[in-house]
Chains A and B, each alone.
Chain A
């Protein structure tokens, strides 16, 4: 199975900060990558698919980029509601696999 590695595993940031999370695949997945947000006690929420396509209803401060093996999720100006754990997922090779998650905490 494809291994997805996120970095960092956690980060502390302040409201208004620009935040970048990276995700690396163990082999090429072209652009078959999605990003999810999960808050404590809630189900995950799809943010981005196809590496850079913003899911309907997701604020434009979220953006995704990358292709091949290296990808990034950027939050341009962190808001209070963005403190959560973020996961990447590849769906190019079956079975689909998730990264281990990146927890974004309040500084």
Chain B
């Protein structure tokens, strides 16, 4: 299993960013995919998830209405569109393959991509 995130950058407050997560080594459509973030020196925060086989999407209250998760099964890739970014969105964003078709526990993690929201 390989999980590789990209797209992290420095962005101004109010700006947008799109993260990508390329996955390989497992049946992509049979697993939920999840984004988890970690602010500098802080703990883990579950951000968004999408079930496999075109299932539902779910979001943390802190990002609902601003972030959108999607997946392209032809490319085995998951995306996180982040709009109206705030300073408190700063952190490392990890993409993970969940253990089942439905959103459960992140079983395999990427190395993360850094998002910095600052003027």
Residues of A within 8 A of B (CB): 1, 32, 34, 36, 38, 43-46, 49, 55, 85, 87, 89, 91, 94-101
Q: Distance (Å) between the CB of B40 and the closest chain A CB?
A: 12
Complex contact B105–A49 (CB within 8 A): yes
Complex contact B104–A101 (CB within 8 A): no
Residues of B within 8 A of A (CB): 34, 36, 43-46, 49, 58-61, 94, 99, 103-112
A-B pairs with beta carbons under 8 Å apart, 5 shown: A38-B44, A91-B103, A95-B46, A95-B59, A98-B36
Q: Distance (Å) between the CB of B107 and the closest chain A CB?
A: 5
Complex contact A95–B61 (CB within 8 A): yes
The interface residues of chain B lying within 8 Å CB-to-CB of A34 are: 104-106
* Bound CA span A72–B94, Å: 25
Tally A-B pairs: CB < 8 A. 64
The interface residues of chain B lying within 8 Å CB-to-CB of A94 are: 58, 103
Complex contact B103–A96 (CB within 8 A): yes
Known: A32-B104, A46-B105, A89-B105. A95 touches B58 (CB 8 A): yes
Known: A34-B105, A91-B105, A94-B103. A44 touches B43 (CB 8 A): no
* Bound CA span A19–B45, Å: 25
Complex contact B104–A91 (CB within 8 A): yes
B interface majority secondary structure: strand
Complex contact A1–B44 (CB within 8 A): no
Of chain A, the residue at the smallest CB distance from B112 is A43
Interchain CB contact (< 8 A) of A98 among B46, B49, B108, B110:
B46
Complex contact A96–B99 (CB within 8 A): no
Q: Distance (Å) between the CB of B93 and the closest chain A CB?
A: 11
The interface residues of chain A lying within 8 Å CB-to-CB of B104 are: 32, 34, 49, 91, 96
* Bound CA span A85–B99, Å: 22
The interface residues of chain A lying within 8 Å CB-to-CB of B110 are: 43
Complex contact A98–B43 (CB within 8 A): yes
